[in-house]
């Protein structure tokens, strides 16, 4: 992980924690090659180029991105919809949603622009996000059409 003092590292153990991570990862870019499921370890991991929303109000007004790792533990199953693992097209994360099951399990949905999604069936919410590099200048600031 980066030795910079601005590096962010977050852990989620419940839905409220996950909302914070989802906000930090909004508009983060990944590719199918940058994600994987280790069934034996029950871990799903991704690497993103995260837009540094937290730096928006700083004296550095230029948009920045940072390489960020994310993993989910206790993963029982992974299902992808609208994502072709053979393609290298970038995927922009919109949000991470959570639905609790009656037995303490949960389903986490990573929703991407264009309609793709990844659904994780998990024993419980156990997720970590950590910046891996120092920020670099982004080409642009993400925008969303007003609805």
Tokens representing residue 36 in the block: 């994987």
Q: Which helix (H) or strand (E) holds 24?
A: helix 15-25
pTM, to two decimals: 0.89
pLDDT digits (tens, 9 = 90+) for 2-40: 456 679 999 999 999 999 999 999 999 999 999 999 999
Residue 1 has pLDDT above 60, yes or no: no
Would you say 116 and 89 are in contact if contact means Cβ atoms under 8 Å apart?
A: no
Q: Is 109 exposed, middle or buried (0-12, 13-18, 19+ CB in 10 A)?
A: middle
Q: What is the mean pLDDT of residues 66-93?
A: 93
Residue 59 has pLDDT above 60, yes or no: no
Tokens representing residue 55 in the block: 């730096």
Tokens representing residue 14 in the block: 């419940």
């Amino acid at each position: 992980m980066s030795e910079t003092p601005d590096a962010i590292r977050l852990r989620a153990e419940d839905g409220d924690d996950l909302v914070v991570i989802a906000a930090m990862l909004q508009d983060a870019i990944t590719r199918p090659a940058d994600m994987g499921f280790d069934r034996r370890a029950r871990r799903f991991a991704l690497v993103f180029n995260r837009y540094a929303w937290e730096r928006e109000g700083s004296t550095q007004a230029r948009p920045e991105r940072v390489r960020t790792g994310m993993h989910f533990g206790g993963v029982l199953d992974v299902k992808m919809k609208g994502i072709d693992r053979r393609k290298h097209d970038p995927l922009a994360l919109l949000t991470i949603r959570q639905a609790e099951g009656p037995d303490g399990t949960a389903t986490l949905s990573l929703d991407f622009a264009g309609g793709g999604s990844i659904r994780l069936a998990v024993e419980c919410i156990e997720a970590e996000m950590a910046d891996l590099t120092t920020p670099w200048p982004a080409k642009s600031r993400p925008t969303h059409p007003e609805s």
